[in-house]
Amino acid sequence: MRGRQHGLLQGCATAGRPDILRAVRISFRTFGCRLNQAETAAFERAFAAAGWQVAPFGEPADVAVIHGCAVTRPAELECLRLARGLKRRAAGRGDPAPWVVLVGCVVEAGGGPVPGVDLLVARKDKARLPEILARLAGQTSPDRPTGRPPPVRRVRALLKVQDGCDFFCSYCIVPHLRGPPVSRPWQVVLDEARTLAAAGATELVVTGCNLARYRDGTRGLADLVAAICALDEVGRVRLGSIEPATGEREIVDLMGACPKLCRHLHLPLQSGDAAVLRAMGRRYTPESFAATVCDAAGRVPGLGLGTDAIVGFPDETEAAFGNTRRLLAALPFGNLHVFPYSERPGTRAAELPGRVAPAVRKARAASLLALREAKRQSFALEFVGREVDVLVERADRHGGRGWTGAYVECRVAGGRQEDVGRILRVRPESAENGVLQAAK
């Protein structure tokens, strides 16, 4: 592979055609959200089906794809540092320099050539990445059927059904980078669900940028999830994060009707203070959020509930943070994701006065992380002595390890390699640090 040069892909053209004679090994490094991870997994399957060898990132490869994230400025800079240094690192190891491709939100945020990167793939062209690289490699088609789908790397696979968001929360750059909501066609989603199941995925995680904005004609997310659960090939189904007040009640109803649907719901709170929520541009109040959570927990026994919280948002006082902590402590969450606020250039919040000192953000995050550990353990203890279904995702000499439908981690003594990908019914005997302990 020689004659490398920068190319900014616009439509079907590049600013300079790189001379790729033969590309047989490709590697991927993914930053950011589940949506990025789902897209990368789809890329890997497409290249494997076309006869390319997908290599672990860091090993010698003809093409190295960095699927970047720009949700925060530090994440964007980390992606760019890696991209700029790939050729230098390869040379330091004595390996041929890879042809470097940058794709994802980081491309939209940067808007121009990056030193060390040979090709930038814009958002509107991202889905065509296998076709684009196949063409540049001299292949007539990205598809070379191999008789059956290539195996998935994990028994829990991500199923992208939707992209984009138009909520424009004041701290979030995503709507500017991913654009307005766009849903994948109904039949395309179902076909991919069957393909993933046939390739070895026992659990499908339905994911999107703003998941409840899925729409195909008159059919919404709950209709789609019910259709996925009805597929004989699919073992079980889990939902990614759902924005509050966008359709979670229909999903809760569906949990009672679809045994395959995991009893797990992730509703991002972000703040438990009314004034902070308004400044964030969120679409609910602390009171309505609490009512939704309590309603769901009351209607679905053993429901696993997760949430997100941002601390240190501009003008978040100690009293406001206290409101957040009290609300999180009062609600039956089994897991919390905690994020110190990070200014993202290009968002409304980045221009707000009243910045909270970084040390205060860090201290508030530490307080919520301690609460998270206590709540994880408390929720796990609810399942001790009760039968639970555990999808075994890996195994070693100590046994199997996986997750229950309510998204509680579980160690299974006696679990073996042949149990990976199976759903085992076990009765946990104890819980340690939020992890259930059971025997096969």
**More confident: 171 or 152:** 171
Q: What is the mean pLDDT of residues 384-388?
A: 97
Predicted confidence band at 18 (pLDDT cuts at 50, 70, 90)? very low
Predicted confidence band at 6 (pLDDT cuts at 50, 70, 90)? very low
Q: What is the mean pLDDT of residues 134-144?
A: 67
Predicted confidence band at 8 (pLDDT cuts at 50, 70, 90)? very low
d(Cα 203, Cα 235) in Å, to the nearest integer?
A: 6
Whole-model pTM? 0.89
Could you tell me the two tokens for 368?
């919520």
Q: What is the chain's Cα-based Rg?
A: 23
Predicted confidence band at 5 (pLDDT cuts at 50, 70, 90)? very low
Residue 319: how many CA atoms within 13 Å on its side-chain side?
2
Predicted confidence band at 15 (pLDDT cuts at 50, 70, 90)? very low
d(Cα 328, Cα 305) in Å, to the nearest integer?
A: 11
Phi and psi (nearest 5°) for 269?
-85, -50
User: Looking at residue 110, what is its pLDDT?
Assistant: 83
Domains 7-136 and 263-381 share a fold: no
Q: What is the mean pLDDT of residues 299-310?
A: 97
Secondary structure element (H or E) that encloses residue 8, with its range:
strand 7-9
Query: Domain 388-439 - what CATH class?
Result: mainly beta
Q: Mind listing the pLDDT tens digit for each residue in 41-62?
A: 999 999 998 889 999 999 999 9
User: Looking at residue 202, what is its pLDDT?
Assistant: 97
Region 7-136: CATH code: 3.40.50.12160
Could you tell me the two tokens for 120?
């930038």
Predicted confidence band at 113 (pLDDT cuts at 50, 70, 90)? confident
Phi and psi (nearest 5°) for 233?
-70, -25
User: Looking at residue 1, what is its pLDDT?
Assistant: 35
Predicted confidence band at 213 (pLDDT cuts at 50, 70, 90)? very high
User: Looking at residue 168, what is its pLDDT?
Assistant: 96
Region 151-236: CATH code: 3.30.750.210
Q: Say whether pLDDT at 237 is over 70.
A: yes
Percent of the chain exceeding pLDDT 70 equals 91
Q: What is the mean pLDDT of residues 386-391?
A: 97
Weakest-pLDDT range from 19-23, 107-111, 245-249: 19-23
User: Do 411 and 401 form a contact (C-beta atoms < 8 A)?
Assistant: yes
Predicted confidence band at 148 (pLDDT cuts at 50, 70, 90)? low
* DSSP per residue, 35-95: HHHHHHHHHHHHHHHTT-EEEPBTB--SEEEEEE--SSHHHHHHHHHHHHHHHHHHHHHTP
DSSP, collapsed to helix, strand or coil, labels residue 329 as helix
User: Do 4 and 16 form a contact (C-beta atoms < 8 A)?
Assistant: no
Domain limits, the chain: 7-136, 151-236, 263-381, 388-439
User: Do 341 and 361 form a contact (C-beta atoms < 8 A)?
Assistant: yes
Q: Which contacts of 178-182 are long-range, i.e. CB under 8 A and separated by 24 or more positions?
A: 178/105, 178/108, 178/123, 178/209, 179/123, 181/209, 181/210, 181/213, 181/215
User: Do 182 and 161 form a contact (C-beta atoms < 8 A)?
Assistant: no
Please give the distance of CA 349 from its chain centroid, rounded to a whole number: 24
| Count, residues in the chain | 440
CB-count exposure of residue 183 (10 Å: 0-12, 13-18, 19+): buried
User: Do 3 and 110 form a contact (C-beta atoms < 8 A)?
Assistant: no
Q: Say whether pLDDT at 12 is over 80.
A: no
Q: What is the dihedral of CA 412, 390, 392, 427, to 10 degrees?
A: 20
d(Cα 222, Cα 206) in Å, to the nearest integer?
A: 11
Q: What is the mean pLDDT of residues 126-133?
A: 90
Q: Which residues pair with 100 in a beta bridge?
A: 64
Weakest-pLDDT range from 141-150, 164-173, 249-258, 401-410: 141-150
Could you tell me the two tokens for 98?
């890879």
CB-count exposure of residue 143 (10 Å: 0-12, 13-18, 19+): middle
Q: Say whether pLDDT at 313 is over 70.
A: yes
d(Cα 163, Cα 22) in Å, to the nearest integer?
A: 33
d(Cα 424, Cα 393) in Å, to the nearest integer?
A: 11
All residues at 6 or more sequence positions from 241 whose CB lies less than 8 Å from its CB, including other chains: 211, 266, 267, 268, 308
Q: Mind listing the pLDDT tens digit for each residue in 248-291?
A: 999 999 998 999 999 999 999 999 999 999 999 999 999 999 99
Q: Say whether pLDDT at 140 is over 70.
A: no
Secondary structure element (H or E) that encloses residue 337, with its range:
strand 335-340
Beta strands in 99-172 (DSSP E): 99-104, 119-121, 156-163
User: Looking at residue 152, what is its pLDDT?
Assistant: 64
d(Cα 20, Cα 61) in Å, to the nearest integer?
A: 13
Predicted confidence band at 372 (pLDDT cuts at 50, 70, 90)? very high
Q: Say whether pLDDT at 187 is over 90.
A: yes
Region 263-381: CATH code: 3.30.750.200
